[in-house]
Every structure is written in C-alpha cells, then in structure tokens.
C-alpha cells in the first residue's frame, strides 16, 4: 500500500510482534477490514479494551463448552456422508463449509432452517475466500458481508428488545455484552464480533481440505496414526505445514530500535506466519511433512503460530484454536474411520497466489462408501484433557 513496512518472521519476531511496542489499531488495510474482519471488532482493539472484549470469546477455549459442538459436528458429518454415497463425486471444500455453518450456527444459538444453510454457508465463506481478491469478487464479498451483517443485526436488535424471551446462548451473550463503560456494544461492533465467531469456524473448511490432501499425499505418515497422540500430532503438522492466512499486520506504537533496526511510530509491520511455521531455526526439515515432530514437543506461544501467537486470554492469539483442532479431529475421524473413498485425477497443487491459499481442485472425492469394518464410536477429544 505504498507505506514503509517491516516484514519479519521467527520466534523472536513473534515475541516483539505481540509486545506492547506494537498495536493493531488501524493496521489492517481497508479492503481486509471491509470483508474479512469487519469494523469495530476485537481484532482492531488494544490493551484494556481488547482484554475486556476478549472475555466474549474465552469460553471457546474451555473444553467443557466444546463437547456439545463436536458431538453436533460429528452427527452432521454422518448425515452429510449419507448424501455422498451414490453421488458421482463431491467437493470436500464445499461440503465442509456446509457442515461447519450448520454446526456453528446451531451451537451459537442462531436459528437456521435447513434450506438456509447453503446460502449462509456461501455468505460466510465469501468473507474469507474473497478477502484478497483483486477483481470484482472483492465487491461481491463486500456486498455479501453487508447482507450477512443485516441478518445478524436483526437477531441482536430483537434480543435487546425482548431479552427475557430468549434462553441463554452465545448469541444472547454477545448481543447483551457491555463495554468498559457499562454500555451495550454499538450494533455494528456486536454484529462484527458474532461474525468473528462464525466466519473462522467456516474457514476451518480449508484445513479439512488440507487434512484430506495430507492423507492422500503422505499415506505412509497417515498409517502411523495409532493413538490419540498420533492423531493430534498429525493435525498439528497439517496446521504447521499447510498455508492458512500468511501474515498479520500491526503498527509501531512508538519509536524504538530492535536488533539494530529502527521502527518509526505508526510504521506498518507484518509478521510472516507461514514463514515462522517453516523457519529452519525452529523446525528441522521444515518442508517435510513430519507429524512426529509434535510428539511430546513443549508448547511455546511464539514459534508455532498458525492462528497467531502470544496468550489466548490477554493477547491476539485466536481464542477459537481449540475449535479448529476439534473440527479437524472430527473430520480426520470421519475420513479415516467411517468412510472409504477414491481420490480421482485432479489438480492437487496448492495455489499460493490467492488469499487464502487452497488446493486448486478443492479436493474432489468419489466412490464414497461406508468403511467395510466401521467402528461405531465417536471421535475422541481426550487430548484436550491432557
């Protein structure tokens, strides 16, 4: 955007990025705010205001609150799978969008008829799938976001008018949340925060595609999944190895010098997420798919940052990270334990030239059929308890 910008990657860079020397306010380019983040949301806040608003999302990090979501998601997967059997082929990307839209809306407490699911899935998908578009698709994304914002705003306004008529739900909690002054959030801010919960959940459909791609491209690694820890390591390696959103923007809060590099107040800074997850100073053979690297690996909030770094409660690290892992675990269970399928010839290259990156073919599956020796068990989430 013709502005002086410092780009960096690595553990030390992430530590600086999430320090008080940098701020998020005003950092995201207008096109990204208008389609991906929205305006007035938690991503653009800092310090006390950010920490207070983050309280809305922190229940997403409690495994006890996620059991119902993952059980619901598994049931929806099983229902969708039945519709795949007998079909010539299915697009896993589009199917995952439908599954995640239905699951997150029902769990969040948003009324959604069955016939509305395809439309809402498309609207939520366009917000992230066209976020980096350089053509007319960008304007389509802005139009769709406005339409979706009106849909959510109507729910918020009705809850605020008739709060006693609504049972407790995340939708009600977000609608009635108050800021540091004790006032209800502006309607546009409350709408943005609700979409900041729904949109990322649907965006996990990208990781479902990458999971299936990894199972197909690295079958020897897939065959080594014998325990819950193995499955967890496989999921984490998919999150490290494959691209999601590539960078995070911020601005220098003040003038300072770091490692002989001068930062000027207001200067743009970009943290390279993908580069950090592929940094040879952190990862041995980073371009190799090696799930075992996560076996008993000590956690560090700054060297593995597919969804941001730092602390979940006080920083800008995504509070929905456990939802990502849980959705991926349900998908991995269904793809390996509940069905057999064929991957036909298709373009399986990753398109890095778009935002977000995606498999060119969207991962087509055909000849989907129930597994011959299917286990009647639901996907275990025990690694959340460890």
Binding residues for heme: 318
Instruction: Name the binding residues.
Output: 318
C-alpha pair distances (Å), 126 with each of 37, 296, 328: 12, 38, 21
Q: Give the DSSP letter of residue 179.
A: -
Of 267, 356, 351, the C-alpha closest to 307 is 356
Q: Is 166 exposed, middle or buried (0-12, 13-18, 19+ CB in 10 A)?
A: middle
Torsion sign across C-alpha atoms 236, 362, 92, 144: positive
Measure the CA–CA gap between 46 and 92, rounded to whole angstroms.
Answer: 37
Note the Cα 298 to chain centre separation in Å: 23
Of 91, 134, 103, the C-alpha closest to 358 is 91
Of 110, 50, 46, 118, the C-alpha closest to 80 is 118
DSSP states of 236-259 as a string? HHHHHHS-S--EEEEEESS-EEET
Q: Give the DSSP letter of residue 334.
A: I
Measure the CA–CA gap between 54 and 177, rounded to whole angstroms.
Answer: 11
Measure the CA–CA gap between 315 and 18, rounded to whole angstroms.
Answer: 7
Torsion sign across C-alpha atoms 272, 203, 70, 79: negative
Q: What share of the chain is helix, strand, coil (3-state, %, to 5)?
A: 50, 10, 40
């Amino acid at each position: 955007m013709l502005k002086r910008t410092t780009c960096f990657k690595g553990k030390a860079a992430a530590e600086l990025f999430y320090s008080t020397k940098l701020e998020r306010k005003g950092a995201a380019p207008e096109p990204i705010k208008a389609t991906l983040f929205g305006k007035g949301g938690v991503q653009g806040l800092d310090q006390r205001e950010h920490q207070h608003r983050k309280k809305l999302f922190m229940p997403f990090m409690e495994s006890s609150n996620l059991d119902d979501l993952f059980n619901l998601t598994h049931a929806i997967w099983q229902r969708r799978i039945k519709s795949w059997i007998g079909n010539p082929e299915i697009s896993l990307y589009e199917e995952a969008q439908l599954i995640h839209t239905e699951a997150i809306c029902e769990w969040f407490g948003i009324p959604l008829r069955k016939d509305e699911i395809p439309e809402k899935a498309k609207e939520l998908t366009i917000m992230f799938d066209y976020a980096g578009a350089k053509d007319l698709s960008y304007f389509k994304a802005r139009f769709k976001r406005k339409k979706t914002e009106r849909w959510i705003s109507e729910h918020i306004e009705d809850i605020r008018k008739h709060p006693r008529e609504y049972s407790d739900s995340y939708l009600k909690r977000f609608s009635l949340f108050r800021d540091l002054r004790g006032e209800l959030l502006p309607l546009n801010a409350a709408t943005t925060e609700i979409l900041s919960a729904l949109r990322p959940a649907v965006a996990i459909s990208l990781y479902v595609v990458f999971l299936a791609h990894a199972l197909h491209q690295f079958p020897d690694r897939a065959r080594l999944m014998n325990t819950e820890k193995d499955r967890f390591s496989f999921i984490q390696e998919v999150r490290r190895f494959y691209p999601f959103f590539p960078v995070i923007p911020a601005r220098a809060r003040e003038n300072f010098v770091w490692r002989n590099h001068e930062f000027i107040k207001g200067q743009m800074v970009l943290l390279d997420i993908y580069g950090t997850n592929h940094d040879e100073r952190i990862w041995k053979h980073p371009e190799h798919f090696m799930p075992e690297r996560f076996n008993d690996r000590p956690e560090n909030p700054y060297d593995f940052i597919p969804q941001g770094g730092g602390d979940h409660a006080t920083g800008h690290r995504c509070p929905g990270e456990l939802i990502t892992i849980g959705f991926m675990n349900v998908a991995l269970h269904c793809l390996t334990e509940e069905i057999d399928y064929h991957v036909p010839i298709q373009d399986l290259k990753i398109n890095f030239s778009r935002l977000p990156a995606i498999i060119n073919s969207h991962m087509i599956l055909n000849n989907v059929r129930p597994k011959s020796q299917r286990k009647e068990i639901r996907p275990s989430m025990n690694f959340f308890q460890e």
